[in-house]
Amino acid sequence: MAMKIRLARGGSKKRPFYRIVAADSRMPRDGRYIEKLGTYNPLLPKDSEERVKMDMERVQHWLNEGAQPTDRVSRFLEAAGVLEKKERANLKKGEPGKKAVERAEEKASKAAAAAEAPAEEEAPAEEAAVEEAPAEDAAAEEAS
């Protein structure tokens, strides 16, 4: 029998409350379980001691029996120091989606075009200033 240590949801709509249970992996999420090992109340602040409560002796017993904790429960056990921390890689989460990549490329191309445009405008202005200076010198020479 494949055992899991997992969360079983209770509470009303939009007011979640979970029991940490040892259950057969074939049973439904909120269905039959073998033993209640603790509770988890996500509505409480993260630093509250009442947020996650577990009977560590029974959790250790089920882990020794071969029960596999789910990801969320394993995070609770890591925080409690029962399990060593696992290296988790969610490579897709950090990457922006297709639309965001397209918007970023479009914004970069507009910024590059805007940076080139003032540089081109400044160059003719400098050339015009250089052209006017000799004309003024020539006018000054004619007047003298």
Percent of the chain scoring above 70 in pLDDT: 79
CB 28 within 8 A of CB 5: no
Residues 55-97 have pLDDT tens digits of: 999 999 999 999 999 999 999 999 888 888 888 777 677 778 8
Task: Specify the pTM.
Answer: 0.60
**What confidence score (pLDDT) does residue 28 get?**
87
CB 32 within 8 A of CB 10: no
**What confidence score (pLDDT) does residue 62 get?**
93
Question: Of 18-22, 27-31, 138-142, where does the model show the most confidence?
Answer: 18-22
Percent of the chain scoring above 90 in pLDDT: 49
* C-alpha span between 142 and 137 (Å, rounded): 9
